Amino acid sequence: MQENVFDEMTCEQAMLLIDKRTPTEKEKGFCPVCGEYKTTIQCRRQNTTYIDEIYNFVIMCDECFEDNEAYWKERWDELYCEIHAGIAAGNLAERTMKRR
């Protein structure tokens, strides 16, 4: 199995790779998501598992990041619920077939 060179990527390294999403000097202080002036803007690792590691990083303020985390938590919860429902349905079908 090939080792993923991005597993230990830091925000600083991600910032270099996502230069096009980095605020310019004029825009520094303005959150690219909400557009408001904030002092809490930084590069952060979001709760995603994109194959291209660069997309797992976002630049935003604390408030937008909290919303982002809540969004991804909901998506992951939905996915896990569907997976567990599928497993349960498969187990039920298997038990039904054994009874016949």
Report yes or no on 3 lying in a domain.
no
At 27-77, the pLDDT tens digits run: 567 888 898 888 888 889 999 988 888 889 998 999 999 999 999 999 999
Report yes or no on 28 lying in a domain.
yes
Q: pTM above 0.75?
A: no
Report yes or no on 50 lying in a domain.
yes
Report yes or no on 71 lying in a domain.
yes
Q: Tokens 């599928």 — which residue?
A: 86
At 38-50, the pLDDT tens digits run: 888 888 999 998 8
Tell me how many domains the chain contains.
1
Q: Provide φ and ψ at 88, rounded to 5°.
A: -65, -40
How far apart CA 68 and CA 71 sit, in angstroms, is: 5
Q: Which range of residues forms the domain containing residue 84?
A: 11-99
Report yes or no on 2 lying in a domain.
no
Among 6, 93, 2, residue whose Cα is nearest residue 57: 6
Report yes or no on 27 lying in a domain.
yes
